[in-house]
Chains A and B, each alone.
Chain A
Amino acid sequence: MLLASAKKLRSLGIIGMNQRNFGLISRYNPRHLYPLVDDKLKTKLLAQKAGITVPTLLGTIEFQHDVKLLSKILQPYEQFVIKPTKGSGGKGILVIIKHDDHQQYFKPSGETLQLADIERHVSNIISGLHSLGGKPDTVMIESLIQLDPVFADYSYEGIPDIRIIVFRGYPIMAMLRLTTHASDGKANLHQGAVGVGIDIGTGSALHAVQFGETVLHHPDTQKTFSELVIPHWDKLLQLAAACYEMTGLGYLGADLVLDRDKGPMIIELNARPGLSIQVANFAGLAPRVTLIESIGQIDPYPVQRTLFSKKHFARSNTNNDQTIPRLERTRKADR
C-alpha cells in the first residue's frame, strides 16, 4: 500500500505538518525568539552563559575582507569545522580533519582542498549562499568533535548527532541520526542518514529507518542496531531540557553530540523541528504532547523534568505495541 490511512496515523498519534505549524510552532514558539536559535553563534553564546557545553569556538569571520585572515586563524589548529551561523539542515558545513604544512587540507572522505578552496567556501557563506533567504551570514570556526567509540561502528565519515524534541521543557522524543555513505557524511535524514528512534527511558535503540523505510543494520558498516545504547543518556536529556530555560521556546529540537573527550554537548537548536522523528520512533508525538499539555505547572528544574519524561515516555511505559521489542518483531519476512 502506498498511502497510510489517516485513521491509522491518528490512532498512532502521528502529528502532521499542518498540526505542527498550527498547534505547536505557532502556539508555543513566539516569533521574536527565533533569532536565538536561527543564529548558531547566538545559541552558542547563550548556551555558554547557561553553563551548557558546546564545541569550542575557534574564530569567526563576518566580512569579506577578513577572509584573507583565514590562514592565520586556522594555523594553530589541526582539525576544525567551518559553519555558516544561519545555515540550516547541515548546509555549508565543511569538516577538515588534518592539514599539512604545504597548505593542503583533508576532508574526512580523504578529498584534499587548497587554502583557496576554503577561502572561497568561506566567502560563499558570508555572501549568504547557505542562509535562509540568502541573507548575509557569518562564518564560525569550531573545534572538531571527536567521534565517541560507541558510535565507531555506526557511522560513516561523520559524527552522528542526537535530536531530542523538547516540549515545554520536557524531552518527549529522541532520535539518533547516523551518517552514511548516501548522506555524504552528513546527519541529515533527507540526504540518506539513518534515523534511529531512541528510548527516552534508557537511551537504547528502538527502531531505525533510512529514506522512510525500516533498516535493521547500518547500510555501510552492517552493524545491527539492537545492541546500541547511548551512553551519558541522563546528561543528554538534561542538557536538552535546559534549552527550554535558555531560549523560552516551547517546542524545540535540540541537536546534541557525544564528544569522546568532552562528553555530551549541544551543537544546534531548531525552532521548527521536523516530523521524521516519529517514523524513526515508530510512535506519534501527539499523546506525549497531550500529556505534557495536561501538566499545570512546569517543573522549574530540568533534572526533575527529565525524570518525569523518563518515567512516562520509557519504552516499558508506553502502551501496547510499543512494549514489544520492535526490532525483533519487524523483520522483512513479516511484511
Chain B
Amino acid sequence: MNVKLRLYVIVILLMSIGIGVIAYKHYILGFPLLPDQKKAVWSVEARIDFTARGDPVIVSFALPPQAPDIIFTQEEFASPDYGFSELPSTSGRRAQWSKRSANGHQTAYYRLSMHEVDHVVSSITNDLPTEPKKPEFDELHKTAATTLLDQVRNKSANTETFTRELITTLNSDAPNQNQGLLLKEQASEDYKTQLIIDLLALEGISARIVRGLYLQSNRRKQSLSNFVEVYIGNEWLLFNQTTGKIGKPKNLLVWQRGDESLLDVIGGKNSQISFSIIKNVQSTRNLAVKDNLNQQATLMDFSIYSLPIEQQNAFKMILLLPIGALIVVIMRLIIGIRTSGTFMPILIALALIQTTLISGIILFLIVISIGLLIRSYLSRLNLLFVARISAVIIVVIVIMAGISIISNKFGIDQAMSVTFFPMIILSWTIERMSVLWEEDGPREVLIQGSGSLLTAVIAYLFMTNRTIEYLTFNFPELMLVNLAFILILGQYTGYRLSELYRFHSLDRRNAPR
C-alpha cells in the first residue's frame, strides 16, 4: 500500500511538472500547442523626408514604446552618412540622426518588425499623470469653454462618460456657436487633440495625447492618428478623438505618448513623415523560439534549442522514442498483442520512418523471409549459439546488399532504403522467429510476426503524425507526462483485450439463456 502511495505521488509530481512546464511555455513564452499556428508579423517603415540647408542637421524622431502585448523582433535605422543614436527621453525613446553639414533632399528610414503576443501578462505601470496644467484662454474662449463644459457635465455621470460626451459634442455635425468658436474653422487634428486636453484640464482631469498607427495590410503613405488618453481610476483609458470610442483598437500600434513632438528637424525644412506597412505571416513557433532565445529565458538557455541544428535534428528522432515505448506498453499490457522482442517494433517503426510505410513493410518481409530460409539451413549445421547469431547477422547484411544492388539495377530507388533497417535487430528477429518456428510451429511465428509488424505500424503512424512530432520536439516535458502514464499503466492489473478472447468460451457457456 505504501509503495502504491509513493508511486502515485511520483506520478502526480511528474504530471504536474510536465504539464506545468508546458503551460508555462504556452502561456508565458508563447509556444503554440499546434504546429500550424501562424501569426501576423508587421513590418512598419517610417520615412522621414526633409530639405537640408547646409547647416548642421539634427533629426529627432519619437520611437514606439515597448508594450507588454507586442514584441519588436527587429529595429533598423538607415540613412546614409548620418551619425545615429537612440536616446531615452522623459516620454519615451527617441531616435537621433545627426550630420555636420548636409544640403538638399535628405531621407532617413526607421524600420520595425513586430508581432503581437497572445497572452499578455498585465503589469502594473507606475505611469502616473502630472497635475493638469490649466490652459490659458482669452475671455471669449474661456466663456465658451465654461458653457460647453457645463453642458457636457449635465449630460454625464463620471469622468469616463464626461470625456466621451465632450468628444462627441465637439465632433457633432451641427456645432453650436461655442463649439465653433473653440474649434475654429478647419482645425488640424493636433489642434483638436490639444483642445480636448485643455478642456479636460479645465475640469481638472489629467489627459495626454497619444499618436498611433493603424496596422493594415500593405498600406503606403500612412500617417499617425491622434487619440486622447485620460487617467481614470488608476489607469489610462484611450479615447478616439473623433468618435469618443473607449479602448485601444485592436490593430493600433501606439507610437508616442505625451505632448513631445513626433519629429524635430534642426537645420532642415519641409520635413515630412510617412509610414508604410507590410504584413507577413510566420510560424508562431519560430517566432516564440526566436524571441525567447533573444531574451535569454533560462528555460530556453538550457533547452534543446540551444544545441546546434544537427543535434536538434537527432533529438527530433530520439524524442519520438518515448511515444513508441508508450505504444508498445499499451499494445502489450492493454491489448495483449504478442511481439517478438519487446522493443523490436519501435526500431522497425524508426526504420519505417526512413523508408516510408509500404516499401518498408515489403522490404522487412523480404529480408525476414529470406533470413528464415537460410537460418533453417543453419540450424541443421549444429552451430553454437553465438556463432549462429553471428552467422545470421552476416546473412542479413548479404541479403540487404543483394536487395540494394538488384533493385538499383531495376531502377527501384525505394528498395535501396533497406539499409535503414537495424541489422542486429533484424538478425535477432530472424533468430527468435526461427527458434519459435521449431518450438511452437509456424502459427506462433505468424502471430508474433504480425503482432510485431502491427505494433510497428501503429507506432509509425503515431511517430509520423505532424502534431505529435511537433509536440515531442517543442515540449520535451511531455516525456515526464508520458513517463507518468507508463508508471500508471505498469499498475494495470485488469484484463488484456486478447484475454477477453482467450476466455471467451467461459462467457458464452455461462450466459443466461
Check: B262 CB closer than 8 A to any chain A CB. Answer: no
Check: B2 CB closer than 8 A to any chain A CB. Answer: no
Closest residue of B by beta carbon distance from A213 = B505
Chain B 358-399 interface mask (CB, 8 Å, partner A; 1/0): 000000000000000000000100111100000000000000
Check: B410 CB closer than 8 A to any chain A CB. Answer: no
- Top-4 shortest CB links A-B: A4-B507, A19-B493, A16-B495, A3-B500
Check: B479 CB closer than 8 A to any chain A CB. Answer: no
Give Cα distance in the complex from A306 to B491, angstroms. 33
In B154-182, the 8 Å CB interface with A consists of none
Contact B440 A190 (CB under 8 A): yes
Choice from A17, A191, A214 contacting B441 with Cβ under 8 Å: A191
Give Cα distance in the complex from A288 to B507, angstroms. 20
Check: A12 CB closer than 8 A to any chain B CB. Answer: yes
Closest beta carbon of chain A to B131's beta carbon, Å: 76
Closest beta carbon of chain B to A4's beta carbon, Å: 3
Which one, A101-109, A125-133, A153-161, A297-305, is touching chain B?
A125-133
Give Cα distance in the complex from A320 to B379, angstroms. 54
Residues of B contacting A6 with CB < 8 Å?
494-495, 500
Residues of B contacting A209 with CB < 8 Å?
505
In A1-34, the 8 Å CB interface with B consists of 1-6, 8-10, 12, 14, 16-19, 22-23
Question: Which A positions have Cβ atoms within 8 angstroms of B?
Answer: 1-6, 8-10, 12, 14, 16-19, 22-23, 89, 91, 120, 123-124, 127-130, 134-136, 190-191, 209, 212-214, 275, 278-279, 282, 321, 330, 334-335
Contact A17 B499 (CB under 8 A): yes
Q: Knowing A9-B495, A16-B493, A127-B384, say if A214 contacts B505 (CB, 8 Å).
A: yes
In B420-463, the 8 Å CB interface with A consists of 435, 438-441, 444
Closest beta carbon of chain B to A70's beta carbon, Å: 15
Choice from A2, A134, A275, A335 contacting B501 with Cβ under 8 Å: A2
Give Cα distance in the complex from A129 to B385, angstroms. 8
Q: Knowing A5-B500, A124-B382, A127-B383, say if A17 contacts B336 (CB, 8 Å).
A: yes
Give Cα distance in the complex from A237 to B444, angstroms. 33
Check: B90 CB closer than 8 A to any chain A CB. Answer: no
Give Cα distance in the complex from A19 to B496, angstroms. 10
Residues of A contacting B384 with CB < 8 Å?
127-128
Q: Knowing A22-B491, A278-B503, say if A129 contacts B510 (CB, 8 Å).
A: no
Give Cα distance in the complex from A123 to B380, angstroms. 11
Contact A17 B496 (CB under 8 A): yes
Check: B6 CB closer than 8 A to any chain A CB. Answer: no
Chain B 395-418 interface mask (CB, 8 Å, partner A; 1/0): 000000000000000000000000
Q: List 13 A-B contacts (CB under 8 A).
A: A1-B504, A1-B508, A4-B507, A8-B507, A9-B499, A17-B499, A19-B494, A23-B493, A130-B439, A212-B504, A275-B499, A335-B508, A335-B509
Residues of A contacting B440 with CB < 8 Å?
190-191
Contact B382 A120 (CB under 8 A): yes
Residues of B contacting A279 with CB < 8 Å?
502-503, 505-506
Contact A123 B382 (CB under 8 A): yes
Contact A9 B503 (CB under 8 A): yes
Residues of A contacting B385 with CB < 8 Å?
127-128, 134-136
Q: Knowing A18-B333, A120-B382, say if A3 contacts B510 (CB, 8 Å).
A: no
Give Cα distance in the complex from A22 to B382, angstroms. 39
In B460-513, the 8 Å CB interface with A consists of 491-497, 499-511, 513
Residues of A contacting B333 with CB < 8 Å?
18
Contact B383 A4 (CB under 8 A): no
Closest beta carbon of chain B to A253's beta carbon, Å: 18
Contact B503 A4 (CB under 8 A): yes
Residues of A contacting B507 with CB < 8 Å?
1, 3-5, 8-9
Residues of A contacting B494 with CB < 8 Å?
6, 16, 18-19
Residues of B contacting A120 with CB < 8 Å?
382
Contact B491 A4 (CB under 8 A): no
Residues of B contacting A9 with CB < 8 Å?
495, 499-500, 503, 506-507
Contact B435 A18 (CB under 8 A): no
Contact A14 B503 (CB under 8 A): yes
Closest residue of A by beta carbon distance from B501 = A3
Closest beta carbon of chain B to A44's beta carbon, Å: 22
Give Cα distance in the complex from A6 to B495, angstroms. 7
Closest beta carbon of chain B to A211's beta carbon, Å: 10
Closest beta carbon of chain A to B418's beta carbon, Å: 27
Closest beta carbon of chain B to A304's beta carbon, Å: 30
Contact A18 B506 (CB under 8 A): no
Chain B 300-339 interface mask (CB, 8 Å, partner A; 1/0): 0000000000000000000000000000000001001000
Residues of A contacting B504 with CB < 8 Å?
1-4, 212
Closest beta carbon of chain B to A285's beta carbon, Å: 12
Give Cα distance in the complex from A9 to B444, angstroms. 25
Q: Knowing A16-B495, A17-B496, A130-B439, say if A4 contacts B506 (CB, 8 Å).
A: yes
Closest beta carbon of chain A to B338's beta carbon, Å: 11
Closest beta carbon of chain A to B171's beta carbon, Å: 73
Closest beta carbon of chain A to B23's beta carbon, Å: 33
Closest residue of A by beta carbon distance from B334 = A18
Closest beta carbon of chain A to B489's beta carbon, Å: 9
Give Cα distance in the complex from A191 to B491, angstroms. 32
Give Cα distance in the complex from A200 to B505, angstroms. 22
Chain B 104-116 interface mask (CB, 8 Å, partner A; 1/0): 0000000000000
